[in-house]
Amino acid sequence: MSLLNSLLNLRPTFRHGVHPDPLKEQTVDLPVQRVPFVSRYVMPLGQHIGVPAKPVVKKGDTVARGQMIAEPGAFMSTALHSPVTGRVVGIEPHRYTDGSFKPAIEIEADPYATQQFQPRPPIDWESLSMDGFIAEVQKAGIVGMGGAAFPAHVKYAIPEGQKISNLLINGAECEPYLTTDHRLMVERPESVVRGAEIIRRKLGAEKATIGVEDNKPDAIEILSRTIGNEPIEVVGLPMKYPQGAEKMLIKATYGIEIPAGQLPRDCGIVVNNVGTAVAVAEWFDLGRPLMERVVTVSGPGIHYPANLTVPLGTPIREVLKFCGGLSENTREVISGGPMMGAPIASLDVPVLKGTSGILAFTAAETGRPHEYPCIHCGRCLEACPYFLNPSRFARLAKARLFDEMNALNVSDCVECGACTYSCPSGIPIVQHIRTAKNNLRQQHKRASG
């Protein structure tokens, strides 16, 4: 082993994981563009983890861009805002990304409106109580922008007696193809740093850290230059998947392992995506709610890859049309990254708060490998960053022994897909686990009435 490799191995990281090809070349150097406004938008009420939002508008109402159209349905919920100035034409079920139909607000854009958002006076966040700050973040509709869409304000509700020492901003973006976070860090470093500082100070954290994989040297350099005298540091991390999973990022950045069953806040840490930090800065400085997001459109089936600012509710079909449409040999379009994303049921489903990418793949990428029996090689165990036994989960899932999986802590699985990626037998392990977890959720739902 060379001296260089020896030194690299001493750098902080987490154990296990895999190393897929980053495949970011198509979009990594493309500045973010704004996709043109379209005629109709669909805003599902449940596009975040938790309780769906409740409409505060009705059919026929005129709405302005940035106006709240649905209020939080509970604490574990968040608001929705109109992505355009227009008219509400319906509140009824629409097709969701997974093929199901869920309640949504449909808005027809005003063809004569400029669709310019008018900034509002800054909010004096420093004078807000912590409860007031949490309420503002919930009102802004801000969620985790890495893809999970977990309501951001819930992370800031720290139980009494707990203290937050570190705020960790997730700029790893370890999913192949995706470059949304990268472009935000390069093009809008001031907003990343501003949002991080607002969150850090309200949480009472001593410092903030921005963790960035070292295949983004320009982002590391620009952020480091932008920080100035703030108690924020940028940490370069070796490339590894799933570094973007918050527990893995914490281990790689601080060397702290979050025990099973505990949350990062139990160890004095709060983790936010860089897009979430930008959204916080925009709300408190400009009054701009979360009504649009940056999306990477890429993959072999895309004619013109791009990083785009897309109003929420825009049909994916319209986004693809802006990028020249799909190639004739496209076989699958997924929302998110190739490791954790999911195929979409229709090109007419909308862009959501958690839509980090739209990727189009041809038969060469989507061909299912022939599945062979498990050879008990242990590669999935070596790949799993949570030290679970994926092959055992797969066997139990096939036998529909879901309760046994629950007893073996299947809930600790974050469905990163590292097990499936590493399996030489072509077993779709993570798909079996997802099916089992969904069955367990349905069982729990029926049991609770």
Whether 419 has a binding-site annotation, put simply, is yes
Q: Are 168 and 250 in contact (CB under 8 A)?
A: yes
pLDDT at 449: 63
Whether 423 has a binding-site annotation, put simply, is yes
pLDDT at 4: 46
Q: Which residues of the chain have pLDDT under 50?
A: 1-9
pLDDT at 10: 53
Round to whole Å and give the CA distance between 375 and 388: 18
pLDDT at 447: 78
Whether 377 has a binding-site annotation, put simply, is yes
Parse the chain into domains and list their residue ranges.
19-28+144-286, 379-447
Tokens of 215: 């295949």
Round to whole Å and give the CA distance between 295 and 287: 22
How many C-beta atoms lie closer than 10 Å to residue 399's C-beta?
10
> Phi and psi dihedrals of 210, rounded to 5?
-105, 110
Whether 384 has a binding-site annotation, put simply, is yes
Q: Report the top-level CATH class of 19-28+144-286.
A: alpha beta
What pLDDT, in 10s, does the model give residues 381-409? 999 999 999 999 999 999 999 889 988 88
Whether 323 has a binding-site annotation, put simply, is no
Whether 380 has a binding-site annotation, put simply, is yes
Q: Are 294 and 306 in contact (CB under 8 A)?
A: no
> Phi and psi dihedrals of 139, rounded to 5?
-60, -35
pTM of the entire predicted model: 0.93
Q: Let me know if 239 is exposed, middle or buried by CB neighbors in 10 A (0-12, 13-18, 19+).
A: middle
pLDDT at 7: 44
Strand arrangement of the beta sheet that strand 269-273 belongs to: 232-237, 207-213, 166-171, 269-273
The DSSP output letter for 350 is B
Whether 174 has a binding-site annotation, put simply, is no
What pLDDT, in 10s, does the model give residues 173-208? 999 999 999 999 999 999 999 999 999 999 999 999
